[in-house]
Amino acid sequence: MTTEEYNNISMLYQFLTKRFDINQNYTSSDYHRCYHPNYYGVRGNGLEVLKRFEHLNFQDLYSEEYLKSQFYSQEYLTSKLVIIEENRVCVMPELGSILFYQLISMMKGGITEYLRQLKYIVENKIGIFRLSDDGDLLKFDLRSYENLLLKFEAIKDFNLFHHLFTKTNSNIIMLNWDNQVEIPIHEIEKFIAHIDHMTFR
C-alpha cells in the first residue's frame, strides 16, 4: 500500500469518525450525514475516496451470512453509502468504520505478521512486557517496545498500520499512565476476522 493511498483513506476515516467535534457541520437526511461540498472532509482527495463508494450499499460489501446476523432493515441495507449531489455530499456514518476495515484488509499481511512476531516475543520472553491473564492485553515497557520497533519496521506496511493503531481515532495501541505500550492482541485479531465477512473492490 502506498503512503498516499493510506493517507487519503485514513484522513477520510478520521474525518468520518470524529466523535467530539465542537461544530457538527452536517445535516441529517434519512440514514446519511450531509455536508456542504466545499467542507474540508468531503472535497479533494476525500471526495475521490467517497466516489469509490457512491454506487455501493451494505449488501455490496458484507456477506449475506453476516448481514443476517445483524438487525438492519432492508431499506437501510440497500441505501447507498454515499450520495454526491451538486449542493451536498451525503455519507452513511458507518462508512468511517468501513474505511477502517478497508485499511485493515489492504494491510492484512503485515498486521498478521506483526501479531505473529508479538506472539513469538511472548513465547520466548523477549524484552520487558506483561501479558494479562486472558492473554489479550500485552503491555510493553516503553523503552523495550521502542527497541523492538526497528525489527517491526521490516514488516510490510508496518509504519502505516502502526500509525492507524496509535495515532488515529482508532486508539487501538495506547501508552498508559505507567509508560507502558498496551497492545490488545485479541482485538486486532477480531479486526482481521471481521474482514472475512467483507468484500472490497
What ranges do the domains of the chain cover? 3-104, 107-196
Which cell goes with 176? 498508559
**pLDDT bracket for residue 201 (50, 70, 90):** low
Let me know if 124 is exposed, middle or buried by CB neighbors in 10 A (0-12, 13-18, 19+). Answer: exposed
pLDDT digits (tens, 9 = 90+) for 139-193: 999 999 999 999 999 999 999 999 999 999 888 999 999 999 999 999 999 999 9
Beta bridge partners of 83: 90
Grid cell at residue 22: 465542537
